[in-house]
């Protein structure tokens, strides 16, 4: 019998922001590949993702946690390790967005984005790495094409995602001798509930029109799907990608290289 490729059997995964969108797709796919998945999220609706995973005979747990609070992250990671004795995979997915230039971005908005998108990722890595150092592991950070190219009205968001790339390279370099790999994915626009909420809030009555406009900013002519991001996440976190570390992967329908 041929062994299943990209298997995560007997691996313990932690996925921040795993209750919806890209994080949910990653959580479900990892569970299908037989990983025990621990989802860190603030949204009580995350229990729905856990139910979906249980329905496919997967194993998942919901930990209500604000990743911006190091104390909360520390407590959750300790509880996971106490029960599993390890964490093999960390997917740093939790993040928030903001629309605005440097002039229209308030200090409050800047700090809010920093606390989740930068400090949140720092907190998760800071608490998980000591455990990973014992047996090795994989860290995958969700960045964005906003860290690679200039995007109008995304000052604070671009700033935080640029920091994600820096953290990814630094961790990959510092912990390679501990058999810890660290990579990142930089998606372009992906159709998630966040996008629908953004359009409803900012373009009431013009949601369909703006959805089409945003979709066409990708040369491929559409937005990505959460599942398409999840498939790459699975590869990068699997043993098949054991030779890959310190890399960022744009998943963008040609946005970075083909837009002129």
Q: What is the pLDDT of residue 107?
A: 98
- The full set of domains in the chain, from first to last, is 12-188+224-251 (3.40.50.720)
Q: From the CB of residue 71, how many other CB atoms can be counted at a distance below 10 Å? A: 10
Q: Are 56 and 31 in contact (CB under 8 A)?
A: yes
The single residue of 157, 175, 178, 249 carrying the catalytic annotation is 157
Cα-based distances in Å from 78 to 71, 74, 140, 143, 203: 11, 6, 20, 26, 43
Token pair belonging to 169:
């390279």
Q: Are 84 and 104 in contact (CB under 8 A)?
A: no
How far is 186 from 7, CA to CA, in rounded Å?
23
Q: What is the pLDDT of residue 65?
A: 97
Q: Is 157 labeled as catalytic in the residue annotation?
A: yes
Q: Which of these, 62, 185, 61, 60, lies nearest to 121 by C-alpha position? A: 185
Q: From the CB of residue 199, how many other CB atoms can be counted at a distance below 10 Å? A: 17
Q: Are 87 and 36 in contact (CB under 8 A)?
A: no
Token pair belonging to 236:
């990068």
Q: What is the pLDDT of residue 242?
A: 98
Token pair belonging to 29:
């796919």
Q: What is the pLDDT of residue 2?
A: 54
Q: What is the pLDDT of residue 1?
A: 45
Q: Where are the beta strands (DSSP E) in 10-77?
A: 12-16, 36-41, 59-64
Cα-based distances in Å from 85 to 75, 79, 204: 15, 10, 49
What tens-digit pLDDT sequence spans the chain (260 residues)?
456 899 999 999 999 999 999 999 999 999 999 999 999 999 999 999 999 999 999 999 999 999 999 999 999 999 999 999 999 999 999 999 999 999 999 999 999 999 999 999 999 999 999 999 999 999 999 999 999 999 999 999 999 999 999 999 999 999 999 999 999 999 999 999 888 988 898 889 999 999 999 999 999 999 999 999 999 999 999 999 999 999 999 999 999 999 86
Which residues, in sequence order, are bridge partners of residue 92? 141
Q: What is the pLDDT of residue 202?
A: 81
């Amino acid at each position: 019998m041929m062994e299943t490729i990209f298997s995560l059997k007997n691996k313990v995964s932690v996925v921040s922001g795993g209750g919806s969108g890209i994080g949910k797709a990653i959580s479900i796919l990892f569970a299908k590949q037989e990983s025990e998945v621990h989802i860190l999220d603030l949204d009580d609706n995350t229990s729905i993702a856990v139910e979906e995973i249980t329905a496919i005979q997967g194993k998942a747990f919901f930990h209500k946690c604000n990743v911006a609070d190091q104390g909360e992250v520390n407590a959750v990671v300790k509880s996971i390790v106490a029960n599993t004795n390890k964490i093999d995979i960390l997917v740093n997915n939790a993040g928030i967005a903001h629309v605005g230039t440097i002039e229209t971005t308030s200090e409050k908005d800047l700090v809010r984005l920093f606390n989740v998108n930068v400090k949140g990722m720092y907190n998760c890595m800071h608490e998980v790495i000591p455990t990973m150092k014992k047996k090795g592991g994989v860290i995958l950070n969700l960045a964005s094409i906003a860290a690679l190219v200039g995007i109008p009205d995304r000052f604070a968001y671009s700033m935080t995602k640029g920091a994600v790339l820096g953290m990814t390279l630094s961790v990959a370099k510092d912990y390679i001798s501990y058999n810890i790999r660290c990579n990142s994915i930089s998606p372009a626009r992906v159709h998630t509930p966040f996008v629908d909420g953004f359009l409803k809030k900012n373009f009431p009555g013009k949601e369909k029109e703006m959805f089409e406009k945003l979709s066409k900013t990708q040369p491929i002519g559409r937005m990505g799907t959460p599942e398409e991001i999840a498939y790459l996440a699975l590869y990068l976190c699997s043993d098949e990608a054991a030779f890959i570390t310190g890399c960022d992967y744009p998943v963008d329908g040609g946005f970075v290289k083909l837009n002129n």
